[in-house]
Amino acid sequence: MSPEQRKLHQKLWDIADELRGSMNPDEFKNYILGFIFFKFLSEKIDYTLNEVLKDDGMTFTEVWKSGDEELQEALKDESIKILGYFLEPEYLFHHFVEQIDKGEFILDDLSKALKKVEDSTQGEDSEDDFMGLFDDVDLTSVKLGKTVEAKNKKIGKIFAKLAELDFRIEDSEADILGDAYEYLIGQFASGAGKKAGEFYTPQEVSSILARIVTQNKTRISSAYDPTCGSGSLLLRIAREGHVDVGHFYGQENNSTTHSLARMNMLLHDVKFDQFDIQQGDTLEDPLHGSKKFEAVVANPPFSAKWSASNLFLSDERFAQYGKLAPKTKADFAFVQHMLYHLDDKGTMAVVLPHGVLFRGAAEGVIRKYLITEKNWLDAVIGLPANIFFGTSIPTCILVFKKCREQSDNIMFIDASNDFEKVKTQNKLLPEHIEKIIETYTERKDVDKYAYIASMEEIAENDYNLNIPRYVDTFEEEEPVDLAAVVAELNTLQAATANLDSSILKNCQELGIPAPVFMCKGE
């Protein structure tokens, strides 16, 4: 991280302090991220349309002041075509800052501006991508202030501080704003307890998944995350894998987090027509039909509940397995869903609790079918405990490929002991990530760390994939020199006898009785 990025992160976190205290992290997250996003949209449209008008020697603001309705309409159409939305200059972020500097009231106009962003997309291809993005920015909330004037003052103070920050919109190579946005999401997740799992996967884990599914590739036609949260894991595929991603697909059940994911895409300069993030329950109401994707990643909610309705036995995603995941543990239901959407030449990596490796009953049947009938499981990677926000349980990564290079074995990696303790969390360091990726790539045995298990060994273990069955991490204790121990005990005994003698002599000189245990010793 550069000094510039670190400085920006700190300033943004300081701005968040304006709301911290009057509401919990999960609430003020919506306001801060919403205001940052509004600033981004304002600066993006201002810069883009000024570039469009450069050869005409005019600016976006000048066109609007000119009253030339034909030119204004053409400019609006151009904005919708390029950016997917439109806002008049009087509703842009910098205009509100000017009003604040004059001590003017902004609350009503700001409400209109947020609504205008969505209204401008009605009937356009971008409508679904912008719908409801600001629904959780409630400008009427008493938590912003008890009176209208107090709310106006609070928001004005935040806008004034945000105005001091340069997000470098004009630099297409820089991702200053997107990086800062993810930093804030991570900070909010760390303070959100169990709710954090709904919208954030630690960057270190995202990095591992992204690098696995992009291995030996320079372009991915499509990337999919069925439980996409804030969308950070999808975005990490392009960043960490250093690949060009043609289209991003995702589904998220939580409405607030669904908005967060779409904002995150746009802030990372992913155009509205390059992503499709849907809202709904992925298992009960899948919204991407029968599409197949080249890279599939996910950090689904661990051991979540689902209906496990018998109707799913005729669902293409689950029918071939003959069994459904238990109602109280949907882990394998997510695996089955993801595999259904995995392209024949694609790679899938998913984070799950360790129970999927060894639990029996229906899960055991599904696990055996995946190994014996499909032979899609490529690797099992054990991660340290306590690396996810909101849970301390150890987790694992399962890697699947429908066309495996080495189909006669499964690789096991035990990375559970490689971490650094940071406050109350365990954290994977860059060297830990590199070790995992290098070992997976080279696919070889590493003493007490990795093992290539044959299909015969897997069968002998009755398809139990518990990592300690394959990776022996037992460390022999150093042999004990019993003669040295006896000699040390004798030395200690002699020293104790000398001390007892000294205490007894002192007691006799003072005319007081010796301690009871010494009398017994005599």
Summarised one tens digit per residue, pLDDT across range 73-114 is 999 999 999 999 999 999 999 999 999 999 898 999 999 999
Q: Is 40 in contact with 167 (CB distance < 8 Å)?
A: yes
Q: Is 253 in contact with 214 (CB distance < 8 Å)?
A: no
pLDDT value at residue 172? 63
- Cα Rg for the chain, rounded, in angstroms? 30
CA distance 292 to 339: 9
Average pLDDT (283-299) is 97
Chain-centroid distance of CA 261 in Å reads 11
How many alpha carbons lie under 13 Å from residue 396 in its C-beta half-sphere? 21
Per DSSP bridges, beta strands 223-225 and 342-353 are unpaired
Summarised one tens digit per residue, pLDDT across range 139-189 is 999 988 899 999 999 999 999 999 998 888 887 665 677 777 877 887 777
pLDDT value at residue 493? 84
DSSP codes of every residue in 166-220: ---TT-TT--HHHHHHHHHHHHHHHTSGGGGGGT---HHHHHHHHHHHTTT-SEE
Summarised one tens digit per residue, pLDDT across range 36-55 is 999 999 999 999 999 999 99
pLDDT value at residue 169? 84
Summarised one tens digit per residue, pLDDT across range 457-468 is 999 999 999 999
pLDDT value at residue 522? 44
Task: Please determine, for residue 18, whether its predicted confidence score (pLDDT) is greater than 60.
Answer: yes
pLDDT band at 420 (very low <50, low <70, confident <90, very high): very high
Average the pLDDT over each of 7-16, 302-311, 359-368, 436-445 and give the range with the smallest value: 7-16
pTM here is 0.87
Which tokens sit at 414? 């035990």
- Indicate the Cα dihedral angle 35, 297, 461, 372, nearest 10°: 150
CA distance 514 to 500: 10
* 381 closest CA partner among 397, 364, 365, 401: 397
Helices (H), 342-424: 361-369
